[in-house]
Amino acid sequence: MHIDITLAVVGHQITQARAICHVGEREILTVNAALGERTFEHAHLFVPMPDVPGPNELETRKHRHPVDGTIHDRLEERLVIGRELEQLDGKPNDGRTVMWAHIPDVLTDVDAATLAVLGDFVPMGIGQALGVRGGGNSLDNTLRVVRLVPTKWVLLDIQIQGVERGFGHGSANMFAEDGTLLATASQSCIARMWRQ
């Protein structure tokens, strides 16, 4: 993979950059980022973490097929609010899925890259929201980092806003085990049914 990096704006505190990733002549990924930190006298987190059981009180999420060699092979997931495969009955719910996720290789140093991977669970909420064996392929993945604190598990509070004309749109609030809002993620995706 070849990565071309462009620094669009370089400021005293904030830099806006773009990375375009190519394999051969094919562009496979574009990342736009605003990077930096500013001193500001006010701070407050307005979104509270839902009152849910901790990850150690829940069963590991079942997958529809073996996960060996996939990203799921490196993740642990615990469903808090959602449906197991056999409960997907074709009836929509309120569009909300809540689950704990953990990447054992990361342990407690959750960073923006880890949160970007976890933010990619938004399309999983499509099947949950519709009650079908489906999901989606990401068209975009916007991550907004709020505050990073050490945590082993991340709570994903996924809300699907709508599925229409073959596309799904949703967001996720991501919380540390101590209740800190780590980041928000939003995605649009191509809605798809799973192959049997």
Q: Is 29 within the bounds of a domain?
A: yes
pLDDT at 64: 64
Confidence bin at 3 (pLDDT 50/70/90): very high
pLDDT at 96: 97
More confident residue, 103 or 66: 103
> Residue 120: which domain range?
49-193
Q: Helices (DSSP H) in the chain: which residue ranges? A: 112-119, 124-130
Please, which contacts does 54-58 make with residues 24 or more away whose CB atoms are closer than 8 Å?
54/100, 54/153, 54/177, 55/100, 55/102, 55/153, 55/177, 58/100
Q: How many CB atoms neighbour CB 16 within 10 A?
A: 15
Alpha-carbon distance 132 to 91, whole Å?
Answer: 8
- As a whole number, mean pLDDT of residues 37-45 equals 89
pLDDT tens digits along 140-180: 989 999 999 999 999 999 999 999 999 999 999 999 999 99
Gyration radius from the chain CA atoms: 18
Q: Are residues 158 and 98 in the same domain?
A: yes
CATH number of the domain that residue 157 is part of: 2.40.160.210
Q: Are residues 62 and 157 in the same domain?
A: yes
Range name among 29-38, 42-51, 156-165 with the lowest pLDDT average: 29-38
Q: Are residues 95 and 170 in the same domain?
A: yes
More confident residue, 21 or 71: 21
pLDDT, mean over the chain: 91
Q: Is 41 within the bounds of a domain?
A: no
Q: Are residues 96 and 2 in the same domain?
A: no
pLDDT tens digits along 68-104: 766 666 788 999 999 988 899 999 999 999 999 998 8
Could you give the number of structural domains in the chain? 2
Q: Are residues 59 and 20 in the same domain?
A: no
